[in-house]
Amino acid sequence: MHILVTGSCGFTGSHVALHLRDAGHQVSVMDNLVRRGSERNIAVISRHGVYFSHGDVRNPEDLGNLPAGIELICDASAQPSVVTGYANPIFDITNNGLGAVHILEYARLRRIPLIFWSSNRVYGADRLNALSRRETPTRFEYDPDAWNCLPVEQRPPAFIRPTGYPNNF
């Protein structure tokens, strides 16, 4: 299957692109490279045989210049940082709002299915910080031992262990 991943040089997009390529799919990716350091992922994904296109979801012309034959879109192009959004709300509105409209329209006109990828940034920090976690050398992880020690009335509602956060979290 030929799959397009937008936001492909970000954390979520790059991992999705590499996973799909490792699963044997033809993967084309697009990123606007506005996040500092994201350009470093071009070499990584290119080494895996992924076709990189420098483009921006805010510009429909960039989408129109993508390779033909795309059969599925994985959209991971959103700017995830709320703090960054405070500094530049117009970018958030155009990238996350207008960009989503452009991706949806691209998919609709070509009758291509779309998967919208997101991160934990869609959840409030207070609810996330209430969850049991442990620090490892590279990340924070869910801590089932701490969860089991919490009295039931102190466990955050709607969290499903061990799978994580349902849509209503």
What one-character DSSP code corresponds to residue 39?
T
When pLDDT is averaged across residues 66-70 and rounded to a whole number, the result is: 95
- What is the C-alpha to C-alpha distance for residues 74 and 30, in angstroms, rounded to an integer? 11
Give the distance from CA 121 to its chain's centroid: 10
pLDDT per residue as tens digits for the range 109-139: 999 999 998 766 666 667 677 777 788 887 7
158 shares a domain with 137: yes
Per-residue confidence band for 35, with pLDDT thresholds at 50, 70 and 90: confident
On whether both 133 and 115 belong to a single domain, the answer is no
pLDDT at 123: 64
Distance of alpha carbon 87 from the chain centroid:
21
Q: Are 47 and 115 found together in one domain?
A: yes
Task: Check pLDDT > 90 for residue 149.
Answer: no
| 154 plus 104 within the same structural domain | no
pLDDT bin (cut points 50, 70, 90) of residue 166 is low
**Residue type at position 68:** A
Q: pTM of the predicted model, to two decimals?
A: 0.74
**Are residues 33 and 106 both part of a single domain?**
yes
User: What total of structural domains would you count in the chain?
Assistant: 2
Q: Does one domain contain both 83 and 135? A: no
Question: Based on the domain organization, do 22 and 71 belong to the same domain?
Answer: yes
Task: Supply the range of the domain harboring residue 72.
Answer: 2-120
Residues 11 and 79 in one domain: yes
Q: What's the whole-number mean pLDDT along residues 3-26?
A: 95
Q: Which of 103, 120, 137 is the last residue of a domain?
A: 120
State whether 116 and 131 are in the same domain: no
Same domain, 142 and 169: yes
Residue 159 has pLDDT above 90, yes or no: no
Q: Quick: pLDDT tens for 85-118.
A: 788 889 888 988 999 999 999 999 999 999 998 7
In a shared domain, residues 83 and 105: yes
In the DSSP assignment, the letter for residue 19 is: H
